[in-house]
Amino acid sequence: MDLAAFRPATHSMQTVSVSFDYPVLFSRDCLASDDPSLAWALSRLRPDRRHRFVVCIDANVLAARPSLVAELEAYVQVHSSVLELHAAPVVVPGGEDCKNDPALVQHLLQTFAAAHLDRHSAVVCIGGGAVLDAVGYAAALVHRGVRLVRVPTTVLAQGDGGVGVKNGVNAFGAKNFLGTFAPPFAVINSGRWLEHLPVRDIRAGLAEAVKVACIRDAGFFDWLEAHASRVTTPGADLDHAVRRAAELHLEHIRTSGDPFELGSARPLDFGHWAAHKLEVLSQHGLRHGEAVSIGMQLDARYSERTGLLSSAQLLRLTRLLAALGLPRHQEILNKKINGQPAVLAGLEEFREHLGGELTVTLLQDIGRGVEVHALDTAVIEQALHWLATPGEVLVEPRA
């Protein structure tokens, strides 16, 4: 039977459209009593009544700011006409481990059930991208989704994952194997959190800013080059970098036409096919942003070797990442499986995660990504070899 010629007799195509709105606020310190962001975000749809919420806090954020719970309670007191903190804060172990622990999701679900959250209650999550992903996943499952207010506390989460529409946990050896598309109710980015963040995590978060600059905004790339020595210290420059990265990610989600990633393309995932694999191969010893730094240099070198990108632009990228203190090579890149670089398996896993046709973003210029549907493994192996050899002299002219 010729399926192309088939026309169903009774045609009842169901079309469902749902639009989502969520504010992303930028503030200095959302727990300061004179900062209305959090109270407004929680009560914005019904400012005439009190809103119950449960708060989940990244354990490392709490350790870095031990007065956090007292500050939060004082904040709720000041805004008691609209806020009602339900139950004690839930402290969630920070970092990638929380996404690897199925018992944590279970624990969160039980906590939300015990708190009798309804679909108009909220979960406020204060933490890094990993805690936001795990808590967001649990919040999306309860009653098929309760309101989630994200308060991202890392550079990466404020500029990238925390402002987006996804959540997820790792399972069966694969990153983000379980997860949902669930736009948050609101996001509040406060620069104050970044003052507690270890410099390693600041650097790692800036890798995503470099990434989005590479594929979308040459002017932002120039700015990062000019501010590389200052941007790793908390303050106005770092706040600017985070804000610009967030804006570029938000613009993409708003205008790409595919916020729930139904197609095979993932234009913002420059450097990510290798990065995801490297994170797993390193047993999450590498930060996501560190893996992205390596993945971007691999794909930029590939772009340069295949004639897409000039050697001068590749050099700018490697220099900027080095200036930000981000890695170019890790021993893990030498790992082989059946004589092949282990990282290569990341390509098929990336395709599988996206579904459909392999789509990888390469670089055509600083500020301009380009999608391709096949990569030559021999060229990838050459690029891997280049990564392993230190020094920028390696950016030799193309033969």
Query: Interface with ligand NAD by CB under 6 A: which residues?
Result: 58, 60-61, 64, 94-96, 99, 127-131, 133, 153-154, 156-157, 160-161, 164, 166-167, 176, 193, 196-197, 201, 204-205, 288-289
> How many alpha carbons lie under 13 Å from residue 373 in its C-beta half-sphere?
5
Distance of alpha carbon 45 from alpha carbon 9, whole angstroms:
45
Minimum distance, C-beta of residue 165 to ligand NAD, in the bound complex (Å): 7
Identify which of residues 54 and 68 has a Cβ nearer to ligand NAD in the complex.
68
DSSP string, 42-104: HHTT-TTS-EEEEEEEEHHHHHHSTTHHHHHHHHHHHTTTTEEE-SSPEEE--SGGGGG-HHH
Question: Considering beta carbons, is residue 288 or 305 the nearer one to ligand NAD?
Answer: 288
Report, in Å, the least distance between residue 79 CB and ligand NAD: 23
Q: Are 294 and 275 spatial neighbours (Cβ–Cβ below 8 Å)?
A: yes
Upper half-sphere CA count for residue 386 (Cβ side, 13 Å)? 24
- Cβ proximity to ligand NAD: between 128 and 341 the closer is 128
Contact 84, 51 (CB under 8 A): yes
CA distance 380 to 298: 7
Sequence letter at residue 292: V
CB of residue 162 vs ligand NAD: minimum separation in angstroms?
Answer: 8
Residue 312: CB minimum distance to ligand NAD, A: 30
Q: Quick one: 161 or 369, whose CB is closer to ligand NAD? A: 161
Closest distance to ligand NAD from the beta carbon of 175 (Å) = 6
How many angstroms separate the CA atoms of 107 and 113, rounded?
A: 10
Is 166 or 244 the residue whose CB approaches ligand NAD more closely? 166
> 76 or 157, CB closer to ligand NAD?
157
Question: In angstroms, what is the minimal distance from the CB of 94 to ligand NAD?
Answer: 2
Minimum CB separation of residue 155 from ligand NAD in Å reads 7
C-alpha to C-alpha distance for 8 and 13, rounded to whole angstroms: 10
Closer residue to ligand NAD (CB): 127 or 183: 127
* Helical packing angle, 311-323 and 199-216, nearest 10°: 160
The CB-of-77 to ligand NAD minimum distance in angstroms stands at 24
Q: Which residue is nearest to ligand NAD (CB)?
A: 94
Quote the CA–CA distance of 195 and 128 in Å, as a whole number. Answer: 14
Residues with Cβ within 8 Å of residue 235, at least 6 apart in sequence? none
Q: Is 269 helix (H, G, I), strand (E, B) or coil?
A: coil
Q: How far apart are the first and last CA of the chain?
A: 53
Task: Write down the least CB distance from residue 371 to ligand NAD, Å.
Answer: 19
Between 70 and 199, name the residue whose CB sits nearer to ligand NAD: 199
CA 298 → CA 142, 211, 274, 388, distances in Å?
40, 13, 8, 10
